[in-house]
Amino acid sequence: MIPEEVILVKGGKCRQDSVHNALVEVMKEKNIPDAVLIHDGARPFCSSNLIDRILDATYRHDAAIPVLPINDTVRRITEEKNQCCRPKGELYSVQTPQGFRPKLIYAASSKEKQKIKNYRRCISA
């Protein structure tokens, strides 16, 4: 049995469409939440501490995307040449869930729905 406060939303053809469908439903709510978290099935488990930290940062900054430093050496190699390494301090692995103010991410999703599949790019667009 699904609790009343849970709303099932039909997924889309891609992640972008599924998230947009969910945001449309969120924006229909009488009491729009202060934050929404976007998570994916590729990394289904996260700690409640991480969720609390993302929510706290979202309330303070309107959006929050957790990252982990990349400790490996990363080198970009193209057919033209072997390009130099990036300093390790500049590279991070993006994680989920990602937190956003609902109106902010809904506006970005609506504006860029057909162009952008990665929501962190929508926010900076």
- Our count of domains for the chain comes to 1
* 104 occurs within a structural domain: yes
pTM value? 0.78
Looking at residues 60-80, what average pLDDT do you find?
88
The residue segments making up the domain with residue 59 are 15-124
Cβ contact 20:110 at 8 Å = yes
For the ranges 15-19, 97-101, 104-108, the lowest mean pLDDT is seen at 15-19
Residue 52 has pLDDT above 80, yes or no: yes
Taking the alpha carbons of 47, 51, 52, 57 in that order, is the dihedral positive or negative?
positive
Is residue 8 one of the residues assigned to a domain?
no
Residue 9 lies in a domain: no
| Residue 106 CB neighbours (<10 A) | 20
Please report, for the domain that includes residue 36, its CATH number.
3.90.550.10
pLDDT at 125: 45
